[in-house]
Amino acid sequence: MAECDENSLEICRFRGDTKPISRRITDPNASPTAIDLVGYTFLLTVNTEKDPDISVSPVIGQELFEITGVIRSPGGLGIVDFPYDQSSPNPSQIVPPGGFFYDIQMIDPGGIVRTIAKGKYTIKQDITKN
């Protein structure tokens, strides 16, 4: 498993894996205190480019997929899961293995948007083709 471990910022998946991506959101001013996530929303977006600048050209990079976060109950745990929707194609099955980039946006109950994580998103080839 060491070939595809996740560190704090890099996400590494094997093609076809369905385990949700989970992150614990902490208060940067009181770390490791978890934030009560009740009323927050989260979005994880994967792109082919690290810094796609659409002000230069709308075709720089390609957004591959987005996953809406689900706050684990109770919200005070500070844990958000990014599950693969079983009713639609699994992104790690339709996106070819390779190196990509992601960010996670957090929207607080007042509508304030913050990018709280950004890093590499790798999909590795597996052996089983289910």
64 within a domain of the structure (yes/no):
yes
82 within a domain of the structure (yes/no):
yes
Token digits for 84?
A: 């693969």
Answer whether residue 128 shows pLDDT above 90.
no
* Residue 66 domain boundaries: 2-124
Give the pLDDT confidence of 18-65 residue by residue, as tens digits: 889 999 988 888 777 888 899 999 999 998 888 877 666 555 678 888
Amino acid identity for residue 43 in this structure? L
Q: How far apart are CA 18 and CA 7, in angstroms?
A: 18
58 within a domain of the structure (yes/no):
yes
66 within a domain of the structure (yes/no):
yes
53 within a domain of the structure (yes/no):
yes
**Domain count of the chain?**
1
For 31-50, the DSSP string reads: TTPBP--TT-EEEEEEESSS
50 within a domain of the structure (yes/no):
yes
The pLDDT value given to residue 112: 96
The pLDDT value given to residue 89: 56
129 within a domain of the structure (yes/no):
no
Q: Report the CATH number at residue 93.
A: 2.60.40
42 within a domain of the structure (yes/no):
yes
